[in-house]
Amino acid sequence: MTTPTFTPRVFSGIQPSGGLTLGNYLGAIKRFVSMQDEAFETIYCMVDLHAITVWQDPADLRRNTRELAAGFIASGISPEKSILINQSQVPEHAQLAWIFNCVARMGWMKRMTQFKDKAGKNAEAASLGLFGYPALMAADILIYHATHVPVGEDQKQHLELTRDIAAKFNHDYDVDFFPLTEPVIEGAATRVMSLRDGSKKMSKSDPSDASRINMTDDADTIAKKIRKAKTDPDALPSEAEGLADRPEARNLVNIYAALNDQSVAEVLRDVGGQQFGAFKPLLAELAVSKLSPISSEMARLMADPSEIDQILKRGARQARDITAPILEKTYEIVGMVR
Ligand code: TYM
């Protein structure tokens, strides 16, 4: 069989399992927005089926899904340029995931660090869904034959597994049906760290709210969290190498660079030599100027969720034009009588 050429197509998703953080925004959403204007079809997803791999209160899940959609739109994802969906309205994701459950191997899944982190010491009590999570993620991507997936650094291992699943399917059935998707992990903030501990990822599930900036935080809260962010006593260096053993300092500079669309070298050229007492107010001002328009637009959109629901319904219809034929073809390859 000749190798098919795949339409350049971007897929990515975020879990509606809590509020959006600055990590999600800088590591993922900003790139989602810029890829809309490159030569790609773009599909962005609220992965509600992934969220319930750990307990979600139903009312919270519904609210978080709509708020996440509002966050996407307020950040610049245009429903005219991109297909915006929630996963459960496009049933082919879950249908392909079943096939992939039968392709992926137990040994592969057991190596996934996110499962180990999330299941913790009590893995026996984790849901089967949490263990199978990466097969559903592979299905999210491959049900569109997506070629590129923008994500933060923490999703790299899942994207490698996605390629392994595609390769094994293609090999077992002797086809060139699923593309080997490219991860897009780029920019100054592919791993935004906790404001309280430079060795931990900024995360919506961290018990300390001071560890993260939420997209819905007001200006005072943002400024206060940055002022209190852990740092070291030294001045900022003038070159990136000077940040090597200074995780907290590096994190704040990375955040500044990503928010301001600059490289770390450019930022340090301007602020090198400054103490944190001078740099933190600059960072706070920049963060507020970039984030407050987003949070006020989110609040406006959330005032009338019916508009969001309509956008998601339309997105699901557009998505299914792509996913339904790919699922049919998959079933045919596998040998299901249709
Ligand atoms: P989730 O919901 O944990 O995070 C969504 C996106 O935000 C990025 N991210 C970060 N980037 C930089 N620094 C941080 N501190 C940070 N925290 C989060 C994540 O890397 C991600 O890109 N499994 C995925 C959701 C998913 C998905 C998919 C992604 C399901 N199916 C298909 C891509 C393609 C997740 O839990 O992301």
Mind listing the pLDDT tens digit for each residue in 22-56? 999 999 999 999 999 999 999 999 999 999 999 99
Residue nearest to atom 18 of ligand 1 (CA): 24
Q: Is residue 1 pLDDT above 60, yes or no?
A: no
Going from the Cα of 111 to the center of ligand 1, the distance in angstroms, rounded, reads 18
**Mutational test site, ligand 1, from 65, 148, 151, 162, max ligand atoms within 8 Å of CB:** 151
pLDDT, tens only, 243-293: 999 999 999 999 999 999 999 999 999 999 999 999 999 999 999 999 999
Name every protein residue with a CB atom under 6 angstroms from any ligand 1 atom: 11-15, 23-24, 27-28, 47, 50, 137, 140-141, 149, 151-152, 154-155, 158, 190-192, 201-202
Atom index in ligand 1 nearest the CA of residue 17 equals 2
Going from the Cα of 25 to the center of ligand 1, the distance in angstroms, rounded, reads 10
Active site residues: 118, 201, 204
Q: How confident is the model at residue 4 (pLDDT cuts 50, 70, 90)?
A: confident
Burial of 292 (0-12, 13-18, 19+ CB in 10 A): middle
Q: Is residue 3 pLDDT above 70, yes or no?
A: no
**Cα 158 to Cα 133: distance, rounded to the nearest angstrom:** 9
**Mutational test site, ligand 1, from 9, 24, 87, max ligand atoms within 8 Å of CB:** 24
Q: Is residue 5 pLDDT above 90, yes or no?
A: no
Q: Tokens representing 308?
A: 């969001």
Quick check: pTM over 0.85? yes
Q: How confident is the model at residue 2 (pLDDT cuts 50, 70, 90)?
A: low
Q: Where are the alpha helices (DSSP H) in the chain?
A: 22-24, 30-36, 48-51, 58-75, 92-101, 106-110, 113-119, 128-142, 156-172, 219-228, 247-259, 264-271, 276-302, 305-334
Residue nearest to atom 29 of ligand 1 (CA): 13
Contact 182, 148 (CB under 8 A): yes
